[in-house]
Copies of this chain bind each other. A is one copy, B any other.
Amino acid sequence: MLKTPNIYCLVKGASEGRTRLNAFDNALLNAGVGDTNLMRMSSIVPPGAVEYNIEDVDLPAGGLIPLAYAHIDSATPGRYISSAVAIGIPEDETEPGVIMEYEDHGRLKNVEEIVEQMVIDAFDYRNRALKEIKSIGIEHQVENCGATFAGAVLWYE
């Protein structure tokens, strides 16, 4: 059985690259999580988990890191691409929070509005009181081939 994480970090990055995967790889480096093995998952904040800055967390190089993320790439010069995640923190600390991810061809303002509404809807559907929304996002105007990435890393203190 895998141990349930007890901390989370909000991270973001954007970059150009020669290929879509290189742009994504560079965006991960830009976000501070580039030399790890990211394991994508659907997207709950464990009860009582505490927020850390990614700079204060010692992720092992090549380690297996659970996270939820938004990601988009584009090879259309001039186009805006945006990724954002939002976390809903419950009033009751013994309940889990929710992470929502959204990405689109467009400006960050719209993407963040949508992802925050998604958190509100997720709490409504659960009949769970929402204390606070934290969100992080990034936009990028494509030069040749670009990617954006926003994530919530789950880890252990």
Indicate if A84 sits at the interface (CB-CB under 8 A).
no
A68 to B62, CA, bound (A): 12
Beta-carbon contact of B154 and A37 below 8 Å: yes
Task: Please state the number of chain copies in the assembly.
Answer: 3
Beta-carbon contact of A64 and B66 below 8 Å: yes
Known: A1-B3, A25-B98, A39-B66. A46 touches B18 (CB 8 A): no
| Chain B residue at minimum C-beta to C-beta distance from A98 | B25
Chain B residues within an 8 Å CB radius of A40: 41
Q: Which of B21, B38, B95, B154 contacts A41 (CB 8 A)?
A: B38
Chain B residues within an 8 Å CB radius of A60: 4, 46
Enumerate A100-157 residues with CB–CB distance to B below 8 Å: 100-102, 114, 117-118, 121-122, 125-126, 154-156
Beta-carbon contact of B61 and A47 below 8 Å: yes
Indicate if A32 sits at the interface (CB-CB under 8 A).
no
Interface residue SS majority, chain A: mixed
Beta-carbon contact of B1 and A35 below 8 Å: no
| Chain B residue at minimum C-beta to C-beta distance from A2 | B64
Indicate if A28 sits at the interface (CB-CB under 8 A).
yes
Chain B residues within an 8 Å CB radius of A42: 24-25, 28, 36-38
Known: A62-B5, A64-B4. A17 touches B121 (CB 8 A): yes
A88 to B60, CA, bound (A): 18
Q: Which of B2, B98, B102, B121 contacts A63 (CB 8 A)?
A: B2
Q: Give 1 or 0 for each of A14-36: 1 = CB within 8 Å of chain B CB.
A: 00011101101110110000111
